[in-house]
Amino acid sequence: MKIDFPHNQSAHCESGVTANLLTHAGVGMSEAMAFGIGSGLFFGYVPFIKMNYLPLITYRGAPGCIFRKATKRLGIDIEQSKFRRPAAARQALDRLLAAGTPVGAQTGAYWLPYFPPALRFHFNGHNLVICGREGDDYLISDPVFPGLVRCPAEDLERARFSKGALAPKGRLYHIRRAPQQVDLPGAISKAIADVCRVMLKTPVPYAGIRGMHLLARHLEKWPAKLGEEKAAVHLGHMIRMQEEIGTGGGGFRFIYAAFLQEATEVLGRPSLQPLSERMTGAGDAWREFAVIGARICKTRGLPSDTYGALANRLRDIAARERRIYLDLAAAIP
Amino acid sequence: MRKTEVPQDSCLLDGQQEICYALDENGHYVLAPTAGWEPKNIVNLQAWGLIREQVERAFAEVRAGRRSPLAYHMARHQMDVGMLAAYTGLSRWRVRRHLRPAIFARLKPALLERYASLLKMSVAELGALPDRPQLTTPHLGEQKL
């Protein structure tokens, strides 16, 4: 049994899943738009939360929030569930599939057999859509892959019950009903205001622009505090979080710029277009940061490539993004 | 980033392509496939290099008789004691005990089976050590780092 599902390859798993599920439910949507109205853009640096002995650095919101926020802002009725027992999780999935409903699932990346070996890390924030079953195989629309993939039931179950940080616990989600008409402009305005708020007005020093400045302060001390080798590992980790599969490049800044470009037309506000261009500029600045950082990691940095110089670049990016969010907040209705 | 500047530095993706966002000649955003990007390849290889170091260290310790073969298989699956405990449903201290060779040697078959099925191997393979450390990404062996 196979549900006819609009599989579109995407940069990022959760926004891709959200866009494809919405499109299937009759609310046609690009990935960038789903990312935008789910206010996926973020920055967070939490030095005391460690993953594999490395600090938490993220360029996007918590897993699950894009789907939740995007559907909520569009007034779409959804259902989510988590499971304690794998058998119950499998039954719930099969029931939904039998009813012709494509089902979103949070999984770990490590046990998915169709992943290239080089990307198999214990990362539990992956998202995909299960859209059919043939014998012991599930048909999966994994948005970061070009076409549908197959996954044996046993492997999918492992992936759904992977352990470690952010364990998915078999989490499933689907759209119950979508209204005929959705208020896209309203959702866009709310979502942009949300991003500006968390980036500019966070009460904690770990998020948004403040988080970037905190990271800059810590980053320039890494070599003295951790030694050259560990400092390079920290820096490499930061760049991986920024560029690793699913960011669309530049720590999600390009995908957000694409969203702003679309929003310009939907809202009929030409004043947003320059902001999209400036967001592209911020993405380019993050990419330059990654080039220099990777050069340091490979210990063949130019004499000018120092952690201090990198920290200053990061401060420049923070200042630049701060102005973007200020102007963005003023530009939306 | 312009579409013409989208990097195609293939390395880790087995010829697979990811999507990134870039501007076309009219300044419109389009989805552009990319085979990889050099800075990203560098940091990914760095991460794999660390995993490989951990596997090699565990392998040497098992060979020297300081730890049980379970330690090597754990490292090979990028796991630590906490994660292995979560997967098997055992407590951390029990898993930690099972990393000691003398205690591992006396483990009941049911427990060995639990570890073996989790790590997708037979009980015999679980108790043995290959000739040299093996990682699930052998093709990275030839990569420069």
Per-residue model confidence as pLDDT tens digits over A268-324: 999 999 999 999 999 999 999 999 999 998 876 677 789 999 999 999 999 999 999
A255 shares contact with chain B (CB less than 8 Å)? yes
Residue B30 CB neighbours (<10 A) = 12
Distance CA A214, CA A216 (A): 5
A160 shares contact with chain B (CB less than 8 Å)? no
The band of B145, judged by pLDDT with boundaries at 50, 70 and 90, is very low
Distances (CA, A) of B10 to A167, B39, B135: 31, 12, 21
Q: Tokens at residue A80, please?
A: 């989510």
Full-model pTM: 0.93
Distances (CA, A) of A255 to A18, A135, A291, A314, B143: 14, 37, 19, 20, 31
What share of residues in chain A are helix, strand, coil (percent, to 5)?
50, 15, 35
Q: For residues B46 and B145, is the Cβ–Cβ distance under 8 A?
A: yes
Q: How far is B135 from chain A (nearest CA, A)?
A: 10
Interface confidence: ipTM more than 0.90: no
C-alpha radius of gyration, chain B, whole number: 21
Domains and CATH numbers, chain A: 13-37+77-177 (3.90.70.10), 184-331 (no CATH)
Distance CA A81, CA A171 (A): 6
Q: Tell me, what's the pLDDT at B137?
A: 57
Which of A120, A233, A249 shows the shortest C-beta gap to B46? A233
- Confidence check: pLDDT of A169 > 50: yes
Percentage of the residues of chain B whose pLDDT score is greater than 70: 91
Q: For residues A316 and A254, is the Cβ–Cβ distance under 8 A?
A: no
Distance CA A126, CA A86 (A): 18
Q: Is there a contact between A245 and B38 if contact means CB atoms under 8 Å apart? A: no
Distances (CA, A) of B63 to B49, B52, B58, B101, B135: 21, 16, 9, 11, 17
Q: What is the pLDDT of residues A50-86, one digit of tens each?
A: 877 899 999 998 889 999 999 999 999 999 999 999 9
In the block, tokens 């300081």 appear at B66
Residue A115 has φ and ψ, to the nearest 5°, of -70, 140
Q: Is there a contact between A11 and B31 if contact means CB atoms under 8 Å apart? A: yes
Cβ-proximal residues to A121 (8 Å cutoff; 6+ apart), any chain: A109, A110, B47, B78
Interface with chain B: mutation pick from A254, A277, A284, highest number of B CBs within 10 Å: A254
Q: What is the pLDDT of residues B75-93, one digit of tens each?
A: 999 999 999 999 999 999 9
> Do the bridges between strand A126-134 and strand A137-141 make them parallel or antiparallel, or are there none, so unpaired?
antiparallel
Distance of CA B107 to the CA centre of its chain: 26
* B29 contacts on A by Cβ (under 8 Å): 32, 254, 257-258, 261-262, 276
Q: Is there a contact between A11 and B14 if contact means CB atoms under 8 Å apart? A: no
What residue type is assigned to position B135 of the chain?
Answer: L
Residues 59-98 of A with CB under 8 A from B: none
Q: How far is B137 from chain A (nearest CA, A)?
A: 6
Which of A164, A240, A280 shows the shortest C-beta gap to B47? A240
Which of B1, B136, B140 shows the shortest C-beta gap to A254? B1
* B27 contacts on A by Cβ (under 8 Å): 277
Q: How far is A170 from chain B (nearest CA, A)?
A: 14
Domains and CATH numbers, chain B: 3-36 (no CATH), 52-133 (1.10.260.40)
3-state secondary structure B30-84: EEEEECECHHHHHHHHHHHHHHHHHHHHHHHHHHCCCCCHHHHHHHHCCCCHHHH
In the block, tokens 């076309």 appear at B24
Distance CA B45, CA B42 (A): 5
* B44 contacts on A by Cβ (under 8 Å): 118, 240, 244
Q: Is there a contact between B16 and A116 if contact means CB atoms under 8 Å apart? A: yes
Residues 7-66 of A with CB under 8 A from B: 9-11, 31-32
Residue B27 has φ and ψ, to the nearest 5°, of 80, 15
Distances (CA, A) of B55 to A164, B62, B77, B80, B93: 19, 11, 9, 11, 21
Q: What is the mean pLDDT of chain A?
A: 94
Residue of B53, B56, B76, B84 whose CA lies nearest to B125: B76
Q: Is there a contact between A32 and B21 if contact means CB atoms under 8 Å apart? A: yes
Q: How far is A77 from chain B (nearest CA, A)?
A: 29
Q: For residues A258 and B30, is the Cβ–Cβ distance under 8 A?
A: no
* B140 contacts on A by Cβ (under 8 Å): 118
Q: How far is A201 from chain B (nearest CA, A)?
A: 28
Residues 118-157 of A with CB under 8 A from B: 118-122, 144-146
Q: For residues B145 and B97, is the Cβ–Cβ distance under 8 A?
A: no
> Do the bridges between strand B18-23 and strand B29-34 make them parallel or antiparallel, or are there none, so unpaired?
antiparallel
> Do the bridges between strand B18-23 and strand A172-177 make them parallel or antiparallel, or are there none, so unpaired?
unpaired
Q: What is the pLDDT of residues B7-34, one digit of tens each?
A: 888 777 667 788 899 999 999 999 999 9
Distance of CA A177 to the CA centre of its chain: 25
Q: What is the mean pLDDT of chain B?
A: 89
Residues 53-82 of B with CB under 8 A from A: 77-79, 82
Which of B1, B47, B82 shows the shortest C-beta gap to A287? B1
What share of residues in chain B are helix, strand, coil (percent, to 5)?
55, 10, 35
Q: Tokens at residue A168, please?
A: 């998915």
- Confidence check: pLDDT of B140 > 70: no
